[in-house]
Amino acid sequence: MQTYAISDQLTRKYLDSFMIRPEYIGSAAADTSAEYFGEVYQSPVMISTLSGMERVHEGGNVLLAQAADLTGTLDWNGVLPVEQGLAILKQGTRAVLSSKPIADMDAVCDMIRTYEQAGAKAFVMDVDFIFDPATGCVRNHPSFGQMATKGEAELKRMSECSSLPIIIKGVLSAHDAVICRDAGVKAIVVSHHMGMIDSAVPPVSVIGEIREAVGNDLVIFADCGIRSGSDAFKALVLGADGVLIGRPLMEPFKDGPEKVAEYLNRITNELRFCMSITGSPDLKHLNRRALVRKDF
């Protein structure tokens, strides 16, 4: 029961329910640079955690990561063989590497330490992959192996096994966000993993309540359905620190990382336009009056 379409439609509807109100007087061309985990990047619009990219273009995720380099953004990756993750780091990409929520926590901690030593910027785990939508039971995936549920103890263990920032992907409530924060997690990705569940709550619609609950204790990233600079702007004004884009990058990647970089740069330029026309000089000073909820 994977009905991506319904969850995507709900997210689209939610994003479209906000209008943007410009305030031109006194505004200036905006700066889109963003700081994550102590480093500065050119844009808060990034490649999502994608895996298996060799199916799209030879060179797979290692090649895709070069699009992040070309755009000066933080590179995110889905689950990869560790040697591929290391190849991404070896080419100098500033990257986030990932693991599925596998049962073997010793292996997870080994992977975190390996990536830390190789220069990764953070490590992400998608906790929304634990249960099999076909059975409702914990997954034993043919490629990724046995999954296991993750509670505060497991998150704490991941946070404490190295000094690499830990990011949890698949958080959709203040409840889960607070547990992540209390376990020492540094950031979350508010995401429904392209509709892992039917009629999923739009990730952008819960950013506000999560931000209210955790304040600035967690970096909040959001994905699912971000398709334009105005979508990115809305997510950022609603409280996200950065946004990730997944499926739309598959098509340009067929023609190489330059085309993906072009796509991402276009979204960043659209975001800059939204920021400039709303008197939002930079990401730390977004004009919260700029979003108006449609009631007609």
Q: Which residues bind ligand FMN (CB under 6 A)?
A: 48-52, 78-79, 98, 126, 169, 191, 193-194, 223-226, 245-247
Q: How far is the CB of 263 from ligand FMN (least distance, A)?
A: 12
Question: What does the alpha-carbon distance between residue 182 and residue 163 come to, in Å, rounded to a whole number?
Answer: 16
Q: Which residues lie closer than 8 Å to 39 by C-beta, 6 or more apart?
A: 74, 94, 121
Residue with Cβ nearer ligand FMN (204 or 286): 204
Q: Which is nearer to ligand FMN, 79 or 111 (CB)?
A: 79
CB atoms within 10 A of CB 40: 9
C-beta closer to ligand FMN: residue 87 or 277: 87
Nearer to ligand FMN, 79 or 95 (CB): 79
Q: Are strands 75-79 and 95-99 parallel, antiparallel or unpaired?
A: parallel
Minimum gap (Å) between residue 90 Cβ and ligand FMN: 20
- Least CB distance to ligand FMN at residue 183 (A): 19
Closest residue to ligand FMN using C-beta atoms: 78
CB of 126 vs ligand FMN, minimal distance in Å: 3
Q: Please report how close the Cβ of residue 96 comes to ligand FMN at its closest, in angstroms.
A: 11
- Residue whose CB is less far from ligand FMN, 176 or 223: 223
